[in-house]
Amino acid sequence: MTTNTTARENYQFQKIVAFVGVTLFLIKVLAWYLTNSVAILTDALESVINVISGFVGLYSLYLSALPRDKNHPYGHGKVEFLSASVEGALIMLAGFIIIYEAIRNLKAPQPISQLDYGILLVGITAVVNYILGWYAVKKGQKNKSLALVASGRHLQSDTYSTIGIIIGLVLIYFTNYLWLDSVVAFVFALIIIITGYKIVRGAISGIMDETDEELLKSVVENLQDIRRENWIDLHNMRIIKYGSVLHFDCHMTIPWYFNIVEGHREVEMLQEEVCKNFGDEVELFVHMDDCKPFSCKICTKTDCAVRQHPFEKQIEWTRENISSNKRHTVDTVANEHPE
């Protein structure tokens, strides 16, 4: 799947998220109108944020799907981080609004009516939200779209708050304790705020090009498993995410006597392996380094006619040493694994 195809797929799915958000908001407004429950009102207010976030995410994915141009040589994918940060902030805002309304209602509880209809309508929105959120997260992870993942997390957080509201409504229905309406809403508002914070934190990390430690770990473990003897060493590896595209940058040490064609073939093999395990949305930039005499001690190549030193130990690539901007030597192994 090409970059543009993936971006368009993300954009089309976000359209569904936005449309469903509007529909569920109207259902919750109807439920609030029937019950006069402050918990349902706060849930409806949270859905307003859903609607706004859905269209913000839609616009960001539209921009992300645009082709690269001379002003944006890496594409427009970074806008997804901005979208996710806005969405996370709105989620947190919704949580604080719910807390405010819950405290106000706790001081002066309002009478509630037709709880059975309210529970049914709100329950339907919870099921739809969770299923759609689950699909959004899965598709976002598959297509490496932070905007879709953020939308999915948002929908799921809305489900959690709705579950809390349903619990409160059921308890009120059987006990007639109106103060439970506010208490349950308050508890789940805290969950919403935490969810929003995590989304904002992840978005800021992306904007600042913070290293994705888990992704880097997965890449390194994969390269360690499929390494070839001509890949004497890898170092100075960087991974930057632009929307659905992952940019890999590293230095590869190869035998000094390889010609350009042979060196390029090794780079192509490396790129093929990376794409095979991490998707086609990968751009790999490899700087080829020629091996030095000290490289012989960590080189496993058996048919080398110009070897100057016997092989001693192979460098085991790790998340830490593959990120180093220094070439590895046998002393690196000694320092990492002292005897």
Determine what percent of the chain is predicted with pLDDT higher than 90.
9
How far apart CA 293 and CA 300 sit, in angstroms, is 14
pLDDT in tens, 65-89: 666 666 665 565 666 667 777 778 8
Mean pLDDT to the nearest integer, 279-292: 79
How far apart CA 21 and CA 220 sit, in angstroms, is 40
Q: Is the pLDDT of residue 104 over 60?
A: yes
The count of other CB atoms within 10 Å of the CB of residue 249 is 14
- CA nearest 146: which of 191, 87, 217, 90? 87
Is residue 293 classed exposed, middle or buried when 0-12, 13-18 and 19+ CB atoms within 10 A define those classes?
exposed
Is beta strand 233-242 parallel, antiparallel or unpaired with respect to 245-254?
antiparallel
How far apart CA 169 and CA 116 sit, in angstroms, is 9
Query: Of 200-209, 229-238, 307-316, where does mean pLDDT reach its minimum?
Result: 200-209
Residue 20 tokens, joined: 């469903």
Q: Is the pLDDT of residue 255 over 90?
A: yes
The reported pLDDT for the residue numbered 338 is 42
215 contacts: CB under 8 Å, gap ≥ 6 = 239, 246
Residue 216 tokens, joined: 């880097």
Work out whether the CA dihedral 260, 266, 270, 273 comes out positive or negative.
positive
With cut-offs at 50, 70 and 90, classify the pLDDT of residue 257: very high
How far apart CA 47 and CA 49 sit, in angstroms, is 5
pLDDT in tens, 19-46: 888 888 899 889 888 887 777 777 787 7
Amino acid present at 65: A
pTM for this one? 0.55
**Domain 213-336, CATH number (from 3.30.70.1350, 3.30.360.10, 3.20.20.140, 3.30.420.40):** 3.30.70.1350
70 contacts: CB under 8 Å, gap ≥ 6 = none
Query: Of 9-13, 72-76, 214-218, 306-310, where does mean pLDDT reach its minimum?
Result: 72-76
Most confident of 44-58, 82-96, 283-297: 283-297
Number of continuous H segments (helices) and E segments (strands) in the chain: 9, 3
With cut-offs at 50, 70 and 90, classify the pLDDT of residue 270: confident
Amino acid present at 105: N
Query: Of 63-77, 94-108, 252-266, where does mean pLDDT reach its minimum?
Result: 63-77
Please name every residue paired with 248 in a beta bridge, in sequence order, or none if there are none. Answer: 239, 284
CA 247 from centre of chain: 16
The secondary structure of 239-261 as a DSSP string is: EEEETTEEEEEEEEEE-TT--HH
How far apart CA 311 and CA 156 sit, in angstroms, is 54
DSSP label of 327: -
pLDDT in tens, 218-237: 788 888 888 898 999 988 88
Amino acid present at 70: K
The reported pLDDT for the residue numbered 242 is 62
Mean pLDDT to the nearest integer, 304-317: 88
CB 145 within 8 A of CB 80: yes
Domain pair 3-207 / 213-336, same fold? no
Query: Of 59-68, 117-126, 198-207, where does mean pLDDT reach its minimum?
Result: 59-68
Average pLDDT over all residues of the chain: 78
Helix, strand, coil in percent for the chain, rounding step 5: 65, 10, 25
Q: Report the b/e string of 26-56 with b at 16+ CB within 10 A.
A: ebbbebbebbebbbbbbbbbbbbbbbbbbbb
Terminal Cα distance for the chain, rounded: 48
> Does CATH place domain 3-207 in 3.40.50.150?
no
Residue 56 tokens, joined: 């913000």
The reported pLDDT for the residue numbered 262 is 92
Mean pLDDT to the nearest integer, 5-31: 81
- Domain ranges in the chain are 3-207, 213-336
